[in-house]
Amino acid sequence: MEKERGTTEVEVELDVFSGKQNPIWKLASAPAQRAVALLQKPGEAVRLAVVIPMLGYRGFILRLEGVSAFAAREVRVLESMAIVGDGKSARAVLVPELEELLLKSAEEQGHATLLEVFRKQR
């Protein structure tokens, strides 16, 4: 979400729980700007070959409402891919640096153990 010109906010949801609130936080300014830049950079389009699990680690959901020059309101990041849309309309782009940025951010938010437990189950 853009509050003012040059200030970007990105909400991150670590999608791991079913029936319980997932951890949600906002990226700091520099990582938020980096995340948006990675999403806006033309990446390698890939065939969506990953199935999003019903339980456990399902990656991250980014909420970008209000970020100019990026049409999607939500982006799922999983298996080094940024996935936009659902079902047959879903498209994916390889953005491994983005998942790495989000994993680091989750650890900084105190979710390292949670990630370890849920990613091990896959």
Beta strands in 5-59 (DSSP E): 7-8, 11-14, 24-26, 44-46
CA atoms within 13 A on the CB side of 33: 6
Given the DSSP bridges, would you call strands 60-63 and 44-46 parallel, antiparallel or unpaired?
unpaired
Going residue by residue through the chain, which has 122 residues, state the pLDDT in tens, using 9 for 90 and above.
444 455 578 999 999 998 899 999 999 989 998 998 888 877 777 666 666 667 788 899 999 866 655 556 789 998 888 888 766 677 888 888 999 999 999 999 999 998 888 776 65
Interatomic CA distance for residues 81 and 97, integer angstroms: 10
Q: Which of 52, 88, 96, 92 lies closest to 75 in space, CA to CA?
A: 92
Rg (CA), the chain: 14
32 sits in which H/E element: helix 29-40
Say what the pTM is.
0.82
